[in-house]
Amino acid sequence: MYSRIAGTGRFLPEKVLTNKDLEKMVETSDEWIRERTGIQERHIASDGETTLDLCEKAARNAIEMAGIEPADIDMIIVGTTTPDLVFPNMGVLLQDRLGIHGCMAMGIEAACTGFIYALSIADKFIKTGNAKRALVVGAETLSRIIDWSDRTTCVLFGDGAGAVILEASEEPGVISTHLHADGKYKDLLYFPSGVSRGFADLKSGTDFVQMKGNEVFKVAVTTLGRIVEETLEANDMSADEIDWLIPHQANIRIIEGTARKLKMPMERVIVTIHEHGNTSAASVPMALDVAVREGRVQRGQTLLLEAFGGGFTWGSALIRF
């Protein structure tokens, strides 16, 4: 038994924040942001628009493409770092929004790797016969935890949600997934507050994403190079058998680094960072949905998905679409 992607969906908040807009907020330039990151604009959730709102729209989009009803879903898993509530978890809140009741529902926090972790977990439930049809979502409103006066972080991130319907199939589907984490890097990219440790006084200026960008960049390039190699080796495949690389959209230079490692031309890499920015757990499923709806990713093609995020966490999924 395998799991296969039956439908994809995405939702981006209406409000767009361009590099030009950011020039008015911090000491930066459109040219600097484009050259160093590849980002031109990002979407930002409006006041009162939450991660759950984004999740619901992306999920309904994927449900529609899969041609199923919400009631056909027997597992919901949402990867996010920016949930609406501490609990109930985002899977449960999304289940209620979709008007279905009783199926297992969970949230998973693995920063930017959240969707890959969620997909891998859902795949295992389906492969072992414990679920037949899973709704897997990656969604974020990272804009809520960014210091908008810190030019070293605020230019990078955006909001959005991406979703897939994963269903049981006799043919692959998800061929393999590979998950990793290494907590020794916990101080390079993190959010400093939490329920148990307590929230900092907002005026102290520390209750925001903290990042040592330069160091994150170096580890990301080498780690993603390794994970794509690990994935190919595990399946005895070479890079030219991959039709599309669908990477986490953090920085165009990191994406190009991974493509170079695979000797893959950029024409076979899905890039959405210019319009989406880094949307953390939402980035890979949104890039997948863009490529599917534009007709670039076709049924039967082989896709390599990868992501890297705070923790560090990182992972990949090899998929026959």
Task: Give the residues lining the site for ligand COA (CB under 6 A).
Answer: 28, 32-33, 36-37, 112, 151-152, 155, 189, 211, 213-214, 216-217, 220, 250-251, 278, 308-309
- Closer to ligand COA by CB, 37 or 95: give it: 37
Q: To the nearest whole angstrom, how small is the minimum distance from the Cβ of residue 220 to ligand COA?
A: 6
Coil, helix or strand for 23? helix
User: What angle do helix axes 213-234 and 252-261 make, rounded to 10 degrees?
Assistant: 30
Of 105, 195, 137, 174, nearest to 320 by C-alpha is 174
Which residue number is nearest to ligand COA in terms of Cβ? 213
Q: Which residues pair with 157 in a beta bridge?
A: 278
Cβ-based nearer residue to ligand COA, 37 or 61: 37
Q: Are 135 and 259 in contact (CB under 8 A)?
A: no
Q: Which residues are marked as active site?
A: 112, 248, 278
Closest distance between ligand COA and the C-beta of residue 272, in Å? 15
Beta strands in 142-237 (DSSP E): 159-169, 174-181, 189-190, 210-211
Q: How far is the CB of 137 from ligand COA (least distance, A)?
A: 18
Residues 6+ apart with CB under 8 A from 130: none
Task: Count how many Cα atoms sit within 13 Å of the Cα of residue 319 in the half-sphere of its side chain.
Answer: 26
Of 223, 225, 228, 224, residue with least CA distance to 304: 228
Backbone angles phi, psi at 166, to 5 degrees: -110, 125
How near is the Cβ of 148 to ligand COA at its closest, in Å?
Answer: 12
Asked if 60 contacts 53 with a C-beta cutoff of 8 angstroms, the reply is no
Q: Which is nearer to ligand COA, 66 or 220 (CB)?
A: 220
- Structure tokens, 318: 């090899």
| Count of Cβ atoms closer than 10 Å to residue 134 Cβ | 26
| Smaller CB separation from ligand COA, 5 or 271 | 271
- How far, rounded to the nearest angstrom, does the alpha carbon of residue 225 sit from its chain's CA centroid? 18
State the virtual CA torsion across 227, 8, 137, 304 in degrees, nearest 10.
0
Q: Where are the alpha helices (DSSP H) in 110-251?
A: 114-127, 151-154, 213-234
Residue 141 beta carbon to ligand COA: minimum distance, rounded to whole angstroms: 16
In the bound complex, what is the minimum distance in angstroms from residue 258's beta carbon to ligand COA?
12
Q: How far is CA 53 from the centre of its chain?
A: 16
